[in-house]
Amino acid sequence: MNILDKIVADKRVEVDLRKSLIPVNQLEQSVLFERQTISLATQLRNSQTGIIAEHKRRSPSKSVINQSLNVFDVAKGYEDAGVCGMSVLTDGKYFGGSLDDLLTARASCNLPLLRKEFIIDEYQLLEAKAYGADVILLIAAILTRDEIKQFSEFAKSLSLDVLLEVHNEEELHKSIMPSLDMLGVNNRNLKTFDVSLETSKSLSTLIPNDFVKVSESGISNIEAIKELQSYGYQGFLIGENFMKTDNASESAKQFIKELSK
C-alpha cells in the first residue's frame, strides 16, 4: 500500500466521523457560506507572476517543515508580498493542518484560498465553502472520471473554482472536462516522492488552453518559473520553499520582486 492509498483510507474514516458530528445543514448555515468567492483562475490569468503560496507545517516526505509560523501572519504576509492565491493544507494526520487554518487565513486576508485536501466526498466541498475557501483541489490519482465530474460540477454549483491535479498522461486524459478551471501538474511522483519539472513540460502540450495551467511541487527558483512560463504555465504552487524559512512572507516577497524584474 503506497502512502497515497494509506492517506485515502484514513480520510474515508475521518470524513465519516466529521459527517456524524457536523450535519450538512449546519455547514450551510455558516456565515461564510454566503460570501462571494474570488476566482483564482481569473487572478492567475491576469498575473505576471502567478504565485500560489502555501501554508504547510509538515509532509510525509519531509516530516517537519515549519511548526512555528502562525497562519494568520503567513496569510497576511503572503497577501502583502503580492501572491495570487494561497493554498492551505487542511489534512491533520499527515500534514499537520486543519479546517481552522482555513478559517484563520480567511479572517486575515482577501486572497483566493485553496483548500488543499484529499477530497473523496461532496461533504468536503461543503466544508470548504463553509470555512471560507474559494478553490478546491481534486487529485486525479485518487478519483474516477465519474467522481471528478460529480465533484467538479458540485463545486461549480457552490461557486468554487476547481484545480485538478494530474501526475501523468493517463490521469490527464481521464480528467479533462468543462467543469474544471485549472489543470495542475504535480512534478512530484506520489509513489516515490521524486520531483522532476520534466513532468510539467511533457504534459503542457496536452492541456487545452481553455484551462489555466498550474505547475506544482519542486519549484524553488526563478529560472524554473521562467522556463515553465514558456510552456504556457500561468500558476506556480510553491509550498516548502517559503515555509522552510523563518519568514515565509518575506521570502515570498523577495521571490516575487526578483521574478517581476
What are the structural domains, with CATH classification, of the chain? 3-260 (3.20.20.70)
* pLDDT tens digit sequence for 63-115: 666 566 789 999 999 999 999 999 999 999 999 999 999 999 999 999 999 99
- Could you list the beta-strand ranges (E) of the chain: 51-55, 58-59, 63-64, 85-89, 113-116, 135-139, 161-166, 182-186, 212-216, 233-238
Q: Three cell numbers at 68? A: 512555528
Q: Alpha-carbon torsion 78, 130, 166, 152, what sign?
A: negative
What's this model's pTM, rounded to 2 decimal places? 0.95
- Return the pLDDT at 43: 98
| Burial class of residue 178, CB neighbours in 10 A (0-12, 13-18, 19+) | exposed
pLDDT in tens, the chain (261 residues): 688 899 999 999 999 999 999 999 999 999 999 999 999 999 999 999 999 999 988 777 666 665 667 899 999 999 999 999 999 999 999 999 999 999 999 999 999 999 999 999 999 999 999 999 999 999 999 999 999 999 999 999 999 999 999 999 999 999 999 999 999 999 987 767 788 999 999 999 999 999 999 999 989 899 999 999 999 999 999 988 888 888 888 999 999 999 998
DSSP symbols for 190-243? TTT--B-THHHHHHHTTS-TTSEEEEESS--SHHHHHHHHTTTEEEEEE-HHHH
Please check whether residue 56 is in contact with residue 239, taking contact to mean a CB–CB distance below 8 angstroms: yes
Total Cβ atoms within 10 A of residue 260 = 10
Return the SS3 of 29: coil
Beta strand pairing status for 135-139 and 63-64? Answer: unpaired
Q: Three cell numbers at 146? A: 465519474
- Catalytic residue set: 54, 56, 116, 165, 186, 216-217
- Return the pLDDT at 62: 65
Beta strand pairing status for 212-216 and 182-186? Answer: parallel
Measured CA to CA in angstroms, residue 168 lies from 171, 175, 180 at distances of 6, 11, 17
